Amino acid sequence: MQRFASTILLSLSVCLLASLVPANAAEPTHQERATVLITGANRGIGLGFVRSYGERGWRVIATCRDPAQATELAEFANEHPNVSIMQLDVSSASETAALAQALNGQPIDLLINNAGTTGNVRNQSVGKLDMAEFAQVLAVNTIGPLRVAEALLPNVMAGKQKKIVNLSTSEASFGMDRGPARIPFYRSSKSALNMLMLNYAKMVADRGVTVLLVNPGPVDTDMMKGAGMKLASVDSAVGQIVPLIDQLSLADSGKFWNFDGKPVPW
């Protein structure tokens, strides 16, 4: 009888304590939320990442060149207080430095270098190769991600997950037959990005930072208009990449991954 009475008292105590806990106690605080920073977040895959992580409750720092023109991004941010928008042109050293200064001391668990450009295709054919165009493509696709990664490395190191993810492409692979010559500036810039990030992964490994390269595959974005091939939806692509990022760790750093989790030949 005494044991039964003790059990009843314990149950009543648990119920009483539960009733005193606020209904929103399980909600993560601003400090507890994981933080992701996404470049090129105003459209396409970048916007898809914003929506995915925003709906998961992450703190999302969405960057783009011109926030005033990012209508869809602004609408999503207005509905999700955990999403903030900041200006960043990844090809600009001054804007990257300003962003790093504004975020000084703020941990970033995951940095996604998504911003990219194919450049003007008309300027990438024999007899019309525009070196200024090539320089701009390199500034966005190759130098930009490295500059952002280096500027925000202290933030990433202060985060719990310590991951830097770079969107690349199978078009940059030497190990795959990608068919006839096309968009050489874009393909070359991504090949250079791959080698840069392979080296960067080795440089920051002793700091516990994971550096990854991910091929999203052909996705239905503005960049792929007129590609003449079957394209996956942004939601489908992001829906595969986000879980992949979740599962990859420091042991996978410096590797090039397909959206389906398979290694991409270099």
Comparing CA positions, the residue from 219, 210, 217 lying closest to residue 245 is: 210
Whether residue 266 lies inside any domain: the answer is: no
Q: What is the pLDDT of residue 44?
A: 94
All residues at 6 or more sequence positions from 47 whose CB lies less than 8 Å from its CB, including other chains: 41, 72, 73, 76, 234
Q: Say if 26 falls within a structural domain.
A: no
Give CA–CA dist 186/181, Å, rounded: 11
The answer to whether 192 and 169 have CB atoms below 8 angstroms apart is: no
Can you give the C-alpha Rg of the chain in angstroms? Answer: 22
Give one DSSP letter per residue of 76-114, joined into a string: HHHH-TTEEEEE--TT-HHHHHHHHHHTTT---SEEEE-
Q: Do the domain assignments include residue 14?
A: no
Domain residue limits at 171: 33-258
For residues 120 and 2, the model is more confident at 120
**27: in domain:** no
Q: How many domains does the chain have?
A: 1
Q: Report the pLDDT value the prediction gives residue 14, as an integer from 0 to 100.
A: 38
Where residue 141 falls among pLDDT bands split at 50, 70, 90?
very high
User: At 258, is the pLDDT very low, low, confident or very high (cuts 50, 70, 90)?
Assistant: very high
**55 is a domain residue:** yes
Across 208-234, average pLDDT: 78
Q: pLDDT value at position 28?
A: 55
Q: Give the pLDDT band of residue 254 (cuts 50, 70, 90).
A: very high
| Within a domain: 10 | no
Angle between helices 184-204 and 144-151 (to 10 degrees): 20
Average pLDDT over residues 233-241: 93
Average pLDDT over residues 100-112: 99
CATH number at residue 232: 3.40.50.720
Q: pTM of the prediction?
A: 0.85
Is the residue at 101 inside a domain? yes
15-38: pLDDT as tens digits: 444 444 444 444 555 557 899 999
Query: Using 50, 70 and 90 to split pLDDT, how confident is the model at 13?
Result: very low
Helices (H) then strands (E): counts for the chain: 9, 7
More confident of the two residues 47 and 230? 47
Q: Is the pLDDT of residue 259 over 50?
A: yes
Would 22 be classed as within a structural domain? no
- Tens of pLDDT, residues 150-205: 999 999 999 999 999 999 998 887 776 667 778 899 999 999 999 999 999 999 99
The conformation of residue 232, written as its DSSP 8-state character, comes to: B
CA 139/CA 142 separation, integer angstroms: 6
